[in-house]
Chains A and B, each alone.
Chain A
Amino acid sequence: MIGTLARGLFLALCTLVALPALAAVDIQEVKSEGGITAWLVEEHSIPFVALELRFRGGAALDAPGKRGAINLMTGLIEEGAADMDARAFAEARESLAASFRFDVHDDSMMISAKFLTENRDEAVELLRKALIEPRFDPDAIERVRAQVLSIIKSNASDPGKIASTTFNHLAWGDHPYGTDLNGTPESVAALTRDDLVAAKNRVMARDRLYVGVVGDITAEELGPLLDHLLGALPATGAPMPERATYQLKPGVTVVPWDSPQSIAIFGHEGIKLEDPDYFAAYVLNEAVGGGNFSSRLMDEVREKRGLTYGIGSYLAPMDLGELIVGQFASANGKMAEALDVVRSVWTRVAEEGLTETELADAKTYLTGAYPLRFDGNGTIAGIIVGMQMAGFPIDYAATRNDKIEAVTMEDIKRVAKRLYRPEDLAFVVVGKPEGVESDH
């Protein structure tokens, strides 16, 4: 089912971290007899396995006119399979204390499973039924369709969602990146069972499958498990969509919204993951808008002026288009000043790059933080499947910090000029910002 309806019923002001796991990540490549490749980290100290599956293409593979089909299909995968209706399937999963999560983004469909060693075969067989023989029963379709429609409705009055949807549409137009993967109320209402079956076959195919496994299982056991679980998927799916064309005009777009605070998303076209300057760009963004309290944007907008609770930026190198984007919220009366501060930070970075100290700090942070990411079987399974999708070599984890260390001040200066373009900056502001007008 689609599970994002639960609202935060309790207010807890917190940001939590999860904790450590494997010291050295020893990844093996496993090739099954049936031809499925997986990366595996054996970790036998706790009797369970975390399995991550990814299908490249994700919701961007929606057929023309069928926006929302892959999302709805994803929500229906565990709502009945083979001889079980939704309830019988859920009861079977609970009886095994296994967990299956299904999710979809524009570049990939994601399946995260955890199951105990003591009933591994039964859990895998149950998951196989969901992946290979989902039923798409009419009553389940209607129930999940109603949930999706409810989410679409909620998103339409969520200023953060309005900001990102508007920004994406202005940036990418009618390409799937420019429209909501949930679909529109009309497109979702029109989806049929046949559309869902077609959607499944478009995305869930072996030619775009990536597998990461961490936990209490050996390479010898994993091969046959994968053939059983995934062997019956179609060999090929739909062709990948065309590249998206960036079309966002510089300047401010205000979306009026009645709220004491405005939300702003800003940015422009970014840099490809394969670009030789990607690592320099990554280090640069860390210093300018990275996730910690000492970034330039945090310092200028929050620490020095108290204009926001939080501000950050990130690189978004998607498969078919790239952005560099940031986001923050400010009181309506302070948004104009905050926008000016963001512009001037952007301009100074483009003109001057970073200081030696900022570069050194960003490097020590990124290189120090990297090993700390490998924190728990499920997390590591997600990391190693992501490495495969990015096309990284299996020893990437061992060389990644060297690539960060190799970034020089000259690299930073060159990339800052190339990547940070104040004249291209586009802002979408949702709220009633005082003294801020749309430029077009």
Chain B
Amino acid sequence: MRRILGLAALALAPLTAVPAQAADPTSYTLDNGLQVLVLEDHRAPVVVQMVYYKIGAADEPPGHSGIAHFLEHLLFQGTENMAAGELSQTVSRNGGSDNAFTSWDQTAYFQRVAADRLELMMRMESDRMRNLKLTEDDVRTERQVILEERNQRIDSDPGALFNEQMRAALYLNSPYQIPVIGWRHEMEALTRQDAYDFYKKYYAPNNAILIVAGDVQPEEVLKLAKTYYGPLEPTPGLGERTRPQEPPQLAERRLKMVDPRVAQPYLVRNYVVPERDHDDQRTAAALTMLAELLGGNAATSVLGQKLQFDSHVAVYASAYYSGVSYDDTTFGYVVVPSEGVSLAEAEAALDKAVDEFLAEGIDDAQWERIRFQLRASQVYADDDIGSQARTYGSALTSGLTIEDVQAWPDILQSVTKDEVMAAARDLLDRRHSVTGWLSPTEQKDAVQ
């Protein structure tokens, strides 16, 4: 094992004066490549174990969309040592909760239990990292379940179908264009062998991060991690995680989707923009501030003020950006027009509002309020160590390091207004964008 972080002060301190609130994480890497992170919070006798795999929907072999998410479901089947469903049943019997989630860049499993049950959880979670058993029967039933999940989450919801179409149009080459749950025709064809091949290759200690957060001591967690995860074999030759990259985007795209189930028409515009990169988070910080300025609270944000308060063009207007992503990510606007306002008029009003912002610049008072709220959010975050564990989990599976995560609040505070305006001018290029209209009936293009 090798301690990779200069957090010795915390890890080696005698156990007096244990901080009551969330502390910096303690990190180790086992010989087999498993990274272990411990976040302490001793206010309640509770612990969360999370295992993040650096594998998600954007890492799927072409034509097999949905396999990462399907495999996530199948991980609840048995191993040599556990019957199907036994892990969840054991968690329940111990009063805990467990679940899992899949995104484009990661797949994660977690249990939340009383702190003295951590060892049991580690034994079971480590077992299914390498020893999964899958029968054809299990696979057949679970495929029905994911198809029902698709019915429920996507096909019954025109907004969700619209999101799928928007992503597919936004990314020309990046696998971010596929939906996490998969395209239906490909989901129907997923086999036991597909799942098993994916599992054997990617579910390995050298492709995973173990995060333990709560009422635990780092030394104790490390000891348990060595006992249960230590003996697991890494996957040899697991190279750099590379994916098809976007070519230069030269043409703006526009979508119009009509679905009679839509009650409230709205428009969305998404741009491909840079994500938070290791050692280079300033651009992402500028975009984060920009999304707050344009689309934070409706009563005080630029779009909310201009579209909802001053002009009543919209019942809802916002901007959003999420910088944690392995490859280039999305910046976007959404506008829900008021009754009697067409999508064309709403889009024209959005364009005008953004143009005015580019001309007028940033309001000093709004800028300072946002900076103060970001500082305060660190106080509120100390109340929720589970959320901090998830923050580290998604960052570390998106190419960022612990140092990057720790540097982020200061970077946000140090970004200048000039950097934000430059990001707004240079990065929100219409050639890199898709604008989509969702409505129950065909809409006219032009403002009348």
Q: Most B CB atoms within 10 A — which of A17, A79, A95, A260?
A: A17
- For the complex, is B114 an interface residue (Cβ under 8 Å from A)? yes
- For the complex, is B254 an interface residue (Cβ under 8 Å from A)? no
Query: A437 → chain B, closest Cβ, in Å?
Result: 22
Proximity string of chain A (129-156) to chain B, C-beta cutoff 8 Å, 1 when within and 0 when not: 0000000000000110011011001111
Cross-chain contact A302 with B43 (CB below 8 angstroms): no
Closest Cβ neighbor of B213 among chain A residues: A19
Cross-chain contact B21 with A17 (CB below 8 angstroms): no
- For the complex, is B177 an interface residue (Cβ under 8 Å from A)? no
- For the complex, is A434 an interface residue (Cβ under 8 Å from B)? no
Query: B384 → chain A, closest Cβ, in Å?
Result: 6
Interface residues of B: mostly helix, strand, loop or mixed?
mixed
Query: A138 → chain B, closest Cβ, in Å?
Result: 12
Query: Which residues 54-102 of A sit at the B interface, judged by CB distance below 8 A?
Result: 79, 86-87, 89-91, 94-95, 97
Cross-chain contact B114 with A371 (CB below 8 angstroms): yes
On chain A, the residues within 8 Å of B214 by CB distance are 19-20
On chain B, the residues within 8 Å of A156 by CB distance are 263
Query: B294 → chain A, closest Cβ, in Å?
Result: 14
A20 vs B156: C-alpha distance when bound (angstroms): 35
Query: A126 → chain B, closest Cβ, in Å?
Result: 14
A215 vs B149: C-alpha distance when bound (angstroms): 40
A372 vs B43: C-alpha distance when bound (angstroms): 12
Cross-chain contact B315 with A146 (CB below 8 angstroms): yes
On chain B, the residues within 8 Å of A375 by CB distance are 44, 46, 386
Cross-chain contact B43 with A365 (CB below 8 angstroms): no
Number of B residues, CB within 8 Å of A: 99
A374 vs B298: C-alpha distance when bound (angstroms): 32
Segment touching A, from B192-200, B217-225, B334-342? B334-342
Cross-chain contact A368 with B96 (CB below 8 angstroms): yes
Cross-chain contact B315 with A17 (CB below 8 angstroms): no
A329: which of B94, B151, B315 is its contact (CB, 8 Å)?
A: B151
Cross-chain contact B101 with A15 (CB below 8 angstroms): yes
Cross-chain contact A302 with B145 (CB below 8 angstroms): yes
Cross-chain contact A11 with B179 (CB below 8 angstroms): yes
A330 vs B152: C-alpha distance when bound (angstroms): 8
- For the complex, is A184 an interface residue (Cβ under 8 Å from B)? no
Contacts A116-B379, A147-B315 given; indicate if A294 touches B44 (C-beta within 8 A): no
Closest Cβ neighbor of A329 among chain B residues: B152
Q: Most B CB atoms within 10 A — which of A45, A304, A370?
A: A45
- For the complex, is B376 an interface residue (Cβ under 8 Å from A)? yes
A45: which of B21, B263, B308 is its contact (CB, 8 Å)?
A: B21
Segment touching A, from B125-133, B159-167, B275-283, B346-354? B159-167
Q: Most A CB atoms within 10 A — which of B46, B146, B214?
A: B46
Cross-chain contact B181 with A8 (CB below 8 angstroms): no
Query: B257 → chain A, closest Cβ, in Å?
Result: 13
Proximity string of chain B (312-334) to chain A, C-beta cutoff 8 Å, 1 when within and 0 when not: 10011010101000000000101
Query: Which residues 331-381 of A sit at the B interface, judged by CB distance below 8 A?
Result: 331, 361, 364-372, 374-378
- For the complex, is A398 an interface residue (Cβ under 8 Å from B)? no
On chain A, the residues within 8 Å of B148 by CB distance are 261, 306-309, 329-331
A372 vs B316: C-alpha distance when bound (angstroms): 37
Cross-chain contact A294 with B85 (CB below 8 angstroms): yes
Cross-chain contact A6 with B334 (CB below 8 angstroms): yes
Contacts A12-B103, A368-B114 given; indicate if A17 touches B145 (C-beta within 8 A): no
Contacts A303-B141, A372-B46 given; indicate if A293 touches B373 (C-beta within 8 A): no
On chain A, the residues within 8 Å of B85 by CB distance are 293-294, 303
Query: Which residues 193-252 of A sit at the B interface, judged by CB distance below 8 A?
Result: none
B315: which of A47, A150, A378 is its contact (CB, 8 Å)?
A: A150
B181: which of A11, A368, A374 is its contact (CB, 8 Å)?
A: A11
On chain B, the residues within 8 Å of A149 by CB distance are 339
Closest Cβ neighbor of B158 among chain A residues: A157
Proximity string of chain B (61-95) to chain A, C-beta cutoff 8 Å, 1 when within and 0 when not: 00000000100000010000000010011011111
B376: which of A90, A116, A293 is its contact (CB, 8 Å)?
A: A116
- For the complex, is B20 an interface residue (Cβ under 8 Å from A)? yes
A87 vs B302: C-alpha distance when bound (angstroms): 12
Contacts A19-B387, A143-B309, A361-B93 given; indicate if A13 touches B153 (C-beta within 8 A): yes
- For the complex, is A412 an interface residue (Cβ under 8 Å from B)? no
On chain A, the residues within 8 Å of B336 by CB distance are 5, 150
On chain A, the residues within 8 Å of B76 by CB distance are 293
On chain B, the residues within 8 Å of A370 by CB distance are 95
A372: which of B93, B95, B160, B338 is its contact (CB, 8 Å)?
A: B95
Query: B91 → chain A, closest Cβ, in Å?
Result: 8
- For the complex, is B54 an interface residue (Cβ under 8 Å from A)? no
Query: Which residues 260-313 of A sit at the B interface, judged by CB distance below 8 A?
Result: 260-261, 263, 291-294, 302-310
- For the complex, is A48 an interface residue (Cβ under 8 Å from B)? yes
On chain A, the residues within 8 Å of B382 by CB distance are 46
Query: A94 → chain B, closest Cβ, in Å?
Result: 4
Query: Which residues 361-375 of B sit at the A interface, judged by CB distance below 8 A?
Result: 365-366, 369-370, 372-373, 375
A43 vs B365: C-alpha distance when bound (angstroms): 33
Query: Which residues 1-30 of A sit at the B interface, judged by CB distance below 8 A?
Result: 1, 5-23
Contacts A22-B44, A45-B21 given; indicate if A329 touches B156 (C-beta within 8 A): yes
Sample of 8 further A-B pairs with CB below 8 A, known A14-B102, A307-B148? A1-B298, A9-B320, A11-B154, A43-B43, A46-B21, A94-B300, A294-B88, A377-B383
For the complex of A and B, the 8 pairs showing the least CB-CB separation, nearest first, are: A368-B95, A19-B386, A306-B144, A14-B101, A97-B376, A20-B46, A90-B299, A20-B44
Please list 7 pairs of residues, one from A and one from B, whose beta carbons are closer than 8 Å in the complex, sorted by A's number: A9-B332, A10-B322, A14-B101, A97-B372, A147-B316, A310-B152, A377-B383
